[in-house]
Amino acid sequence: MASSVAMNSVGAQAGLVSKPRNRNFTSCNGLKATSSISFESRSSFLGHNASLRSSAIPRIVPKAKAGSYISPEASYKVAVLGAAGGIGQPLSLLIKMSPLVSALHLYDIANVKGVAADLSHCNTPSKVLDFTGPSELADCLKGVDVVVIPAGVPRKPGMTRDDLFNINAGIVKTLVEAVADNCPEAFIHIISNPVNSTVPIAAEVLKQKGVYNPKKLFGVTTLDVVRANTFVAQKKNLKLVDVDVPVVGGHAGITILPLLSKTRPSVTFTNEETEELTKRIQNAGTEVVEAKAGAGSATLSMAYAAARFVESSLRALAGDPDVYECTFVQSELTELPFFASRVKLGKNGVESIISADLEGVTEYEAKALEALKPELKASIEKGIEFVHKQQASATSA
């Protein structure tokens, strides 16, 4: 495992827009500690940048019940497994800036001490601890509320997500086994690709350990939403803070399906625009890999998107009733066992899966939805089969 990890070093009801109430509690706004925080526009690691902050909060959500609020004592422990890697380092920095984090545990097989030392100098409240190698993994995970797993090898030019499978599958299996043993109640965020397979791998491992809770296992597909929002805003000259595009399906190639007809604010696309935007969103990862010309993959945008999902999870844990994100989870929305869609997050994980996004889609989207299913089904089955084969090998050994 060690050598493998080192390669990367390691919606809601239509038309309802909520206006979050001001909630005052001690926080860290941007890089400067402040006495209060408002979820209106200025909280969390996104600081004063209103456009970034707004992009982190889906705006098409039901109104919250009056009187609901986040506890001022809200404070959580987050572990990043693969914290010294290309995604792990910027992701850890962004999580360090969250006012909802009290402790940040950084794990990798090498080079994590320097990352932790560096981050510990940031004047934000969370305490940073480093853990190196398998012998320290259990200590890293004890008492943790959210586990984020970006560990694995990155994509390189010419590689598909399936090319990553054999290496990353083993890494995710090993790490999730440790999660099951040490913090089985934690939210688990899977970033390691191919997500369409690694999430089912995680689910099977947790089932074998007897601690599987489908409401707390998430494939992080937030980057697809971030890209969709960005590209649509650019194409249509829209104010980015107002744009929200649900993205369903999976997290690779044609399994990524942006539902452009469900874009908020409502906007019209020509057939050509729909096809162009859909293909760009689906191939955006390759766009970055090729632009970096062998020097890496989409690490920074992935870190941003993953940090957004972490922040959403923390807000849900803290009692915010208006938290919606698209994510790859166990689902009955289609005949597939796992499917990415918008979900409502709460203290116990997924509270509900928003089915409305798949109602009244265009003919193009309906055909694309059917077209993605065979590939997504195969990827899911590949992940499940991997764990079963590993189990069979261990039994016969």
Q: Which residues are catalytic?
A: 251
How far apart are alpha carbons 40 and 50 in whole angstroms? 9
Hey, what's the torsion of the CAs at 74, 43, 308, 365, to 10 degrees? 120
Amino acid at site 204: E
Cβ partners under 8 Å of residue 397, min gap 6: none
Give the long-range contacts of residues 368-371, CB within 8 A, separation 24 or more: 368/254, 368/257, 368/278, 369/248, 369/249, 369/257, 369/334, 371/254
Tokens of 162: 């399936």
Give the long-range contacts of residues 242-247, CB within 8 A, separation 24 or more: 242/54, 242/59, 243/55, 244/11, 244/58, 244/59, 244/60, 246/11, 246/326, 246/341, 246/342, 246/357, 247/221, 247/281, 247/326, 247/340
- At 266, is the secondary structure helix, strand, or coil? coil
DSSP states along 24-86: ---EEETTEEES---TTTT-STTTT-HHHHHHTS-SB-PPPPTT----TT--EEEEEETTTST
250 within 8 A of 368, measured Cβ to Cβ = no
How far apart are alpha carbons 285 and 279 in whole angstroms? 11
Question: Is the preceding peptide bond at 321 cis, omega within 30 degrees of 0?
Answer: no
How far apart are alpha carbons 40 and 19 in whole angstroms? 7
Cβ partners under 8 Å of residue 312, min gap 6: 56, 57, 323, 325, 345
Cβ partners under 8 Å of residue 183, min gap 6: 79, 141, 142, 143, 144, 145, 147
For the four alpha carbons of 179, 182, 184 and 186, in that order, the dihedral sign comes to negative
